[in-house]
Each structure stands twice: as C-alpha cells, then as structure tokens.
Amino acid sequence: MKKGRININITAIFLYSAFIAFSFVIKFNPGKEIGYTFFTFVLFMIKILPCAFILIGLFEVWIKKEKVEKHLGKDASMLSFLWVILLAATTVGGIYVAFPVACSLYKKGANLSVIFAYIGAVGLCRIPMTVFEASFMGVKFSLIRLFVSLPLVIISSIWLGRYLEKRNYTMMECMK
C-alpha cells in the first residue's frame, strides 16, 4: 500500500519532467513557463531545505528530551507559547519548513497545542517576512495583523491540542 503510493509519486514526477522537457523541445510556451516557475521554486528550496534539515538533525541529537518537555510539554506554563513564537519568528522559508520542525518537537515531547501554535506563528511572524511586509504595506498594517492574529492562533491551538488529546491522537509518521 505504502510502497504503491510512493511509486505513483515517482511516476507523476517522471511524467512531469518529460512534459517539461518535451515543451522545451517543441517550444510549447505554457509548458516552458510552468517549467521556469518550477525551477525558480526548486532553486529557492535548495537554498533553504538542506540547512533546515541539518538544523533539525542537530536539534534531535543535541537537545535532551527532558529539556523540551520541561519548557514545551504538558506541564509547561503559558511561557511556552512565547518560546515557540520566538522560534517561529526566526524560522526561515515557509510553512513547509515548519512541518518537519514540528515533527521533531513532537518527538521530543512538546505539547500538541504548542506545536500548532508554532505552525500558525511560522505563517504569521517570520522576521524577514514581516520587515518586508512593513516596508511595502506600512507598519500599521503589519502591527494590526500581528496583534490580531497571534492571540487567535494561540487560542485555536490550545483548543485543537486539547481536542486531539481527548481523541488520543498521535503523529504516527513522526514516530518512525
């Protein structure tokens, strides 16, 4: 079952690259443009993903489980949300980088609510992004956005975390 799905993915990727290559050969413009967008994104990700994964690897080796549990676990105080928001603010890349990080945090025993707060915050308040935003849209715009969204993210994460705990949810994929 699992194996079959990976094969489908690989087939899709193969067909896609064939399509792009073919478009270039016969000068099919939509195909070429799609190819260019794809390469721009791949380049962008190549810059970010390896660093992100190396940092995740280092995190898993160096940071002790007890420490994460103490600060981000079930019995941690509200301060834990402050920590993850700071962590999120310094995360680079995009929400897709946040997922593997969340996975590692979970493995180290962080609370589910905290993890969802982290993911939400990565979408909202990465520092380079916010600076960029403020320069184009004005500081007022960014401040309103941050002050309204962060509390909402924290509240909804607490709710979601509790709801999932009641249903004995576990992140299966991460435990492997």
Partner 1 sequence: MSFIIDKKKTGKALRIALKKCIKILPVFLTMLIFVSFVLYLIPDEVISRYLGNRNMFSAFVSASVLGSISIMPGFIVYPLCGILLKKHVAYMVLSAFSTTLMMVGVLTYPVEKAYFGMRVTVIRNCISLVIAVIVALVTGLFFGELL
Q: Using CB under 8 A as the criterion, which residues of the chain lie in contact with partner 1 when the complex forms?
A: 6, 9-10, 12-13, 16, 30, 33-35, 37-38, 41-42, 44-45, 49-50, 53-54, 56-58, 60-62, 94-96, 99-100, 102-103, 116, 119-120, 123-124, 126, 128-129, 132-133, 135-137, 140-141, 144-145, 148-149, 152-153, 156, 160, 164, 169, 171-174
Phi/psi at 125 (nearest 5 deg)?
A: -135, 40
Residues 6+ apart with CB under 8 A from 169: 112
Closer to partner 1 by Cβ: residue 45 or 76 = 45
Tell me the two tokens of residue 99: 């997922």
Closer to partner 1 by Cβ: residue 24 or 53 = 53
Rounded Cα distance between 140 and 81, Å, is 24
Rounded Cα distance between 8 and 12, Å, is 6
- Smallest distance, partner 1 to C-beta of residue 56, A: 6
